Structure 1
Amino acid sequence: MARILIIDDEALFRKMLRQMLEMAGYEVLEAANGEHGIAMFTAQPTDLVITDIFMPEKEGISTIQDLRRDYPNLKIMAVTGGGYKRRGFEYLQFADKVGADCVLRKPFERQELLDAVQQLLTPGAH
């Protein structure tokens, strides 16, 4: 069974994602921001990290950069509901540029999430 870490400051969103992923057979860990997420990943590595972009303390872009630097083979998915810009890119495009393997815009459908997770966790995919 694959293990997934969700990093998001919205507790209700984490709960919803956890339920979707656990119903699909995944083990799920949660963290409320990038600092806690990186610490949790270091203590209990996972097969995939799903991180929000906009969070307090340590936001998603720097979380992705740090994880990618320290764990180059880790699969990372970025999610956000914001359409804000940074350096001329939408944040999700920017997340893709700094190392996210997949990006999803909130809100997304359950099947869209599960398809993306399955693709990322399939050996040789992406």
Structure 2
Amino acid sequence: MARILIVDDDTAVQATVRLLLERAGHSVVTAGDGRKGLSLFEKEDFDLLFLDIFMPGMDGFETMRLAHQLRPLIPIVVISGRPISSEEGAAPDFLTMATKLGAVSSLQKPFKPAALLATVTSCLEAAKRLSSSSSHAPGGVASCP
């Protein structure tokens, strides 16, 4: 199956996502902040990156920017526990912002196990189709729901 990196400062989220993905047959590596995650991302090969947006030190936006520079074809799924509000004057929708900046998909915490697994499956399939397609544009990134 796939090799997946999870970067999240919440150890409970790390453990839960890791357990779900390992039960589905994936190999999982975790990091507690953006700098550690980026260091692992530089040294090892991954098929998918799960990235929390809000972490101390290097946040998910900066980590995503640097990860894209290193390996632009690796799909990134952003996750966040910040509420999404459509009220005027409320905080911006950071998940949507992240997808506009290069993440292929997003999940609002807490998410259901089925939503996590469906996202992983669709992102990995989209990335595989993109890598096997000879007609894709250079620098293209797989998009998935």
In the alignment, the residues of structure 1 paired with residue 49 and residue 120 of structure 2 have an alpha-carbon distance, to the nearest angstrom, of: 10
Task: Give the % identical residues.
Answer: 35
Aligned residues: 124
TM-superposed deviation, 1:70: 2.0
Counterpart position of 2:137: none
Aligned residue for 2:39?
39
Larger fraction in strand: 1
Partner of residue 98, structure 2: 95
Aligned residue among 107, 112, 115 for 2:115:
112
Question: Which stretch of structure 1 is more off in the superposition, 6-15 or 61-70?
Answer: 61-70
Instruction: Check conservation: 1:77, 1:100, Cα contact below 8 A.
Output: yes
Across the aligned residues of Structure 1 and Structure 2, the Cα RMSD in angstroms comes to 1.5
Runs of 4+ in 1 over 4 A off after TM superposition: none
Give 5+ residue unaligned stretches, structure 1. Answer: none
Query: SS of the residue aligned with 2:38?
Result: helix
Give the C-alpha shift of residue 83 in structure 1: 2.9
Unaligned runs of 5+ in 2: 86-90, 130-141
> Could you tell me how far 1:104 is from its partner in structure 2?
0.6
CA contact (8 A) 2:42 2:70 kept: no
Return the alpha-carbon distance in structure 1 between the equivalents of residues 83 and 69 of structure 2.
26
